[in-house]
Structure 1
Amino acid sequence: MTRRLHLGAMFPGTNSTLVWSDPATGSHIDFAAFADFARTAERARFDFVFLAEGLRLREQQGKVYDRDMAGRPDNFAVLAALAAVTDRIGLAGTVNSTFNEPFEVARQFATLDHLSGGRAGWNVVTTWEEYVGENFRRGSYLPREQRYERAAAFLDAVCRLLGSWRADDVLADKATGRFLRRADAGAFAHRDAQFDIAGRFTTPPGPQGRPVVFQAGSSPEGREFAAAAADAIFGMYGDLAEKREFYADVRRRAAAHGRAPGTPLVLPAATFCLGDTDAEARERAARVRLAQVDGRTAIAFLEEVWNRDLGAYDPDGPLPDVEPVVGGGAVAKAMAGVRKYPDPPATARRWRELAEAKGLSIRELVIEVTGRQTFIGAPSTVADAMCAWVDGGACDGFIVVPHTVPGAFDEFARTVVPLLQERGVVRAEYEGRTLREHLGLACN
């Protein structure tokens, strides 16, 4: 029998999975959309909802590229509001460790944990891109190789702040309704290569002690950071074989750090496309990919690798006959494609060979080489596949990323989750109240 399968639900407002043109996609800034999403996930007994973060609007060649985003509201404000309209589901948000300060983040998460009754989760991410740093007047002050050094110091400082209150530092005086604080309550000092801070932390720890810590890096540095300090890893897209390798590697690293068996949890992102039959789901998945990668998107993606303006090329025509620009270029200050494909000329050669062999246009090639839906099929097929991934040593569960909200997410909650509940791998009712309890983690 498949072991317990953990489920998170990502509100996909800052990534290119979402199909904005689909009528089933609603607002991504109206609070009602967030509340509906969280309530749906809670009715389906998900472990948590998950909010991504975007600290700058995406741009290309100096112009805002609005194909995959519509508003970037602040995560803490949204999560705090969700705490008031939900009861059990965990509330996890991405908060950057490069452009924030430990005191502020620790106080915000302690507050969220109190407001939610112990349901707070923090996805610790790093940022090295100069174009994001400009929003904070820091430019590219932090070299890329140092970002996880700062993240580790940041997390250590936050944990020290949250631990600066002892269990007996707050005593309720029931006769007066006041609180009595001991003289040294909240005292802290943290000094390392990144931070030199000392003072009094203002907020006692919440019910969990500290929030559940997620980490989303897949690089060797990210894996090492997660293995040493995270409670759970938000893995990126990939096939079963890739996830098995990732899972085994992270567990090896965690064991080397003396972590308890079974930690950290590995929860990859899972996209999906459903249908009444497997054949219908495959047809629908093909339409979804065409909607996710329209002509403009295909050209923009190729520009990230070619590092030059390709606007004159037909997305339904052949790949460019010019070579990528290596080194500095005019396309963008920091692009995902440049990071993912560090050898642009070699990448271009491989893609030309693939396009010629299969007769692919630019748009078709981009669809071919970029991520497809992780799971495609009838609800029973998708449920089977999810169980197979967990049984096959690829993960401990999934963070579901729908291509439309509320449409596709509601469909998943209505059709797939009940099948997982019938198999006993997803809870039918919440047993605990905190996010740590949902994930089988000890409070600390």
Structure 2
Amino acid sequence: MTKPLKQIHLAAHFPGVNNTTVWSDPKAGSHIEFSSFAHFAQTAERAKFDFLFLAEGLRLREQGGQIYDLDVVGRPDTFTILTALAAVTERLGLTGTINSTFNEPYEVARQFASLDHLSAGRAAWNVVTSWDAFTGENFRRGGFLPQEERYSRAKEFLATTNELFDSWRGNEILADQATGTFLRDAQAGAFVHQGQHFDIQGRFNVPRSPQGRPVIFQAGDSDEGREFAASSADAIFSRYATLDAGQAFYTDVKDRLAKYGRRPDQLLILPAASFVLGDTDAEAEEIAKEVRRQQVSGATAIKHLEWVWNRDLSSYDPDGPLPDIDPLLGEHTVARGRAQVRMYRDPLATAREWRELAAANNWSIRDLVIENSNRQNFVGSAQTIADTIDNYVQADASDGFILVPHITPSGLDDFADTVVPLLQERGVYRTEYEGTTLRDHLGLETPAGTVS
């Protein structure tokens, strides 16, 4: 019996807080003007994408005590942008990254419930944690939370917000015969939560929203992160670049669901992916090489190496060999406010591995960084990219992709015009939205008690 074709999920990542964007391209636009966000979102909706995704940085990054200005380092407030985008789109999901370490459940629940109302059911929350005291200095509790407790707080934070969302579930409207007015059940919005991180009670003042709760995304790749996603998330980001690695991650995370009483289709696996289109595969390969050289300048390559070495490496030639000295261990003092720093939990092992790669391939520092920092990259003609995306999804290496273009805001335009029609012709991608909410787009159940 032939296995039915899986439907592909696509989303768009507005590329901020990153070194993906090629600023030198004449088509590169602003990361703060609303017209950039509007163009990007409306292109994604024209292509029938599931959602737009915004990352967020809570502090300007530093390198060697100076503001790091080689890539995007910040952006206006997420909720403000997403609320504005709700007014210029109709179906596109609106996903925001909001930190569970430096916020409070009541405030975040109120903001997401409001966004879900204003967008008619299109809100989603990428739940992230923060581990560094440097970022925490911007907040009253700066640096108070030990790294090992960040997922403990995140789990309780999410559970608490769900209690707030659900505090309106099942509350009926009652008619007051004497006054002719309508009143909610006296228990509407009432909540009490006592736990390790939060001790709150009161009354939640935003009624049940169209989705009941926002769709929950999670991006952690550690064992704790995978468990958190399996227990609580609707979708998880993946960073795996090869088919085999993607399949292994997919199987591992999906296999964790059963212990929480969940089915495989209740959690989507959505890797981030960049892409370079050309009229032919050969042309796309040449464009991709130039894009990578533009993304990783010599200065960027040295700064990237400092994230691992925790040393000032400014005297090294980016087109020369890797340092023969070892990384400094202990608290990171060179690069501050960068999530990538925590990816290298064993700097000595990372440095050893990188030296071996560079020696085997005759790579310079810049060559190594270009290869090492390359994301899942679809390079080729529209037909080749459509084939590759479909192959990954049908082979259970993902359920779809979150696309990260290297040009903002017009970087999605060609993909929408050339690749999407090919996927639609295959019957693996929608030609029209069939529902109105983000849960509809993703094939996720709406929590019980939600008023439609």
Normalised by the shorter chain, which TM-score bucket? over 0.9
Report the Cα distance in structure 2 between the residues aligned to 1:24 and 1:172, rounded to whole angstroms.
58
The equivalent of 2:329 in structure 1 is 326
1:205-256 Cα offsets, whole Å, 9 max, x none, are: 1111111111111111110000001011122242211111111011111112
Helix, strand or coil for the counterpart of 1:407?
coil
- Tell me if structure 1 keeps the 8 A contact 2:91–2:436: yes
CA shift for structure 1 position 109: 0.7
Task: Identify which of 423, 426, 429 aligns with 1:423.
Answer: 426
- In the superposition, relative to structure 1, how do residues 179 and 276 fare at CA in structure 2: closer, same or farther (>3 Å)? farther
Task: Identify which of 332, 348, 351 aligns with 2:351.
Answer: 348
The equivalent of 1:159 in structure 2 is 162
- Tell me if structure 2 keeps the 8 A contact 1:90–1:120: yes
Helix, strand or coil for the counterpart of 2:95?
strand
Report the Cα distance in structure 2 between the residues aligned to 1:328 and 1:117, rounded to whole angstroms.
45
Task: Return the letter of the residue paired with 1:218.
Answer: D
- Tell me if structure 1 keeps the 8 A contact 2:52–2:94: yes
- In the superposition, relative to structure 1, how do residues 170 and 27 fare at CA in structure 2: closer, same or farther (>3 Å)? farther
The equivalent of 1:359 in structure 2 is 362
1:2-58 Cα offsets, whole Å, 9 max, x none, are: 311111111111112111222222111111111111111111111111111111111
- Tell me if structure 2 keeps the 8 A contact 1:216–1:236: no
- Tell me if structure 1 keeps the 8 A contact 2:57–2:73: no
The answer on 1:232 being equivalent to 2:235 is yes
- In the superposition, relative to structure 1, how do residues 411 and 179 fare at CA in structure 2: closer, same or farther (>3 Å)? farther
Task: Return the letter of the residue paired with 1:379.
Answer: A
Task: Identify which of 180, 183, 193 aligns with 2:183.
Answer: 180
Helix, strand or coil for the counterpart of 2:124?
strand
The equivalent of 2:404 in structure 1 is 401
- In the superposition, relative to structure 1, how do residues 172 and 234 fare at CA in structure 2: closer, same or farther (>3 Å)? farther
TM alignment of 1:262-341, pairs within 5 A: 262-328=265-331, 330-333=333-336, 335-341=338-344
Task: Return the letter of the residue paired with 1:68.
Answer: D
The answer on 1:149 being equivalent to 2:152 is yes
Report the Cα distance in structure 2 between the residues aligned to 1:150 and 1:379, rounded to whole angstroms.
44
1:320-363 Cα offsets, whole Å, 9 max, x none, are: 23222122454135654542222223322332232233222111
Report the Cα distance in structure 1 between the residues aligned to 2:180 and 2:318, rounded to whole angstroms.
68
The equivalent of 1:66 in structure 2 is 69
The equivalent of 2:226 in structure 1 is 223
The answer on 1:378 being equivalent to 2:384 is no
- Tell me if structure 1 keeps the 8 A contact 2:241–2:376: no
Which deviates more from structure 2 when the two are superposed, residues 253-262 or residues 350-359? 350-359
TM-score (norm 2): 0.94
Report the Cα distance in structure 1 between the residues aligned to 2:445 and 2:355, rounded to whole angstroms.
51
- In the superposition, relative to structure 1, how do residues 264 and 43 fare at CA in structure 2: closer, same or farther (>3 Å)? same
The answer on 1:34 being equivalent to 2:37 is yes
- In the superposition, relative to structure 1, how do residues 353 and 442 fare at CA in structure 2: closer, same or farther (>3 Å)? closer
Report the Cα distance in structure 2 between the residues aligned to 1:103 and 1:178, rounded to whole angstroms.
29
TM-score (norm 1): 0.95
Report the Cα distance in structure 1 between the residues aligned to 2:193 and 2:24, rounded to whole angstroms.
49
The equivalent of 1:22 in structure 2 is 25
The equivalent of 1:76 in structure 2 is 79
Helix, strand or coil for the counterpart of 2:97?
strand
The equivalent of 2:450 in structure 1 is none
Report the Cα distance in structure 2 between the residues aligned to 1:435 and 1:189, rounded to whole angstroms.
29
Over the residues paired in the alignment, what is the CA RMSD in angstroms?
A: 1.8
Report the Cα distance in structure 1 between the residues aligned to 2:406 and 2:180, rounded to whole angstroms.
49
- In the superposition, relative to structure 1, how do residues 297 and 38 fare at CA in structure 2: closer, same or farther (>3 Å)? same
Which deviates more from structure 2 when the two are superposed, residues 403-412 or residues 121-130? 403-412
- In the superposition, relative to structure 1, how do residues 171 and 122 fare at CA in structure 2: closer, same or farther (>3 Å)? farther
The answer on 1:3 being equivalent to 2:32 is no
Helix, strand or coil for the counterpart of 2:56?
coil
Report the Cα distance in structure 1 between the residues aligned to 2:216 and 2:138, rounded to whole angstroms.
26
- Tell me if structure 1 keeps the 8 A contact 2:239–2:376: no
- Tell me if structure 1 keeps the 8 A contact 2:171–2:188: no
- Tell me if structure 1 keeps the 8 A contact 2:122–2:438: yes
- Tell me if structure 1 keeps the 8 A contact 2:98–2:128: yes
Structure 1's unaligned 5+ residue stretches are none
- Tell me if structure 2 keeps the 8 A contact 1:114–1:206: yes
Report the Cα distance in structure 1 between the residues aligned to 2:241 and 2:402, rounded to whole angstroms.
13
Task: Identify which of 89, 94, 115 aligns with 1:91.
Answer: 94
- Tell me if structure 1 keeps the 8 A contact 2:61–2:336: no
Which deviates more from structure 2 when the two are superposed, residues 399-408 or residues 327-336? 327-336
- In the superposition, relative to structure 1, how do residues 132 and 329 fare at CA in structure 2: closer, same or farther (>3 Å)? closer
Report the Cα distance in structure 2 between the residues aligned to 1:69 and 1:302, rounded to whole angstroms.
18
- In the superposition, relative to structure 1, how do residues 166 and 373 fare at CA in structure 2: closer, same or farther (>3 Å)? closer
Task: Return the letter of the residue paired with 2:11.
Answer: G
The equivalent of 2:413 in structure 1 is 410
- In the superposition, relative to structure 1, how do residues 54 and 172 fare at CA in structure 2: closer, same or farther (>3 Å)? farther
Q: Percent of pairs identical after alignment? A: 62
Helix, strand or coil for the counterpart of 2:53?
strand
- Tell me if structure 2 keeps the 8 A contact 1:251–1:263: no
1:179-230 Cα offsets, whole Å, 9 max, x none, are: 5222221100011111100000000011111111111111111100000010
The equivalent of 2:58 in structure 1 is 55
Helix, strand or coil for the counterpart of 1:135?
coil
Report the Cα distance in structure 2 between the residues aligned to 1:179 and 1:230, rounded to whole angstroms.
36
CA shift for structure 1 position 261: 3.2
The answer on 1:199 being equivalent to 2:202 is yes
- Tell me if structure 1 keeps the 8 A contact 2:100–2:127: yes
CA shift for structure 1 position 169: 3.7
Which deviates more from structure 2 when the two are superposed, residues 316-325 or residues 210-219? 316-325
- In the superposition, relative to structure 1, how do residues 120 and 372 fare at CA in structure 2: closer, same or farther (>3 Å)? closer
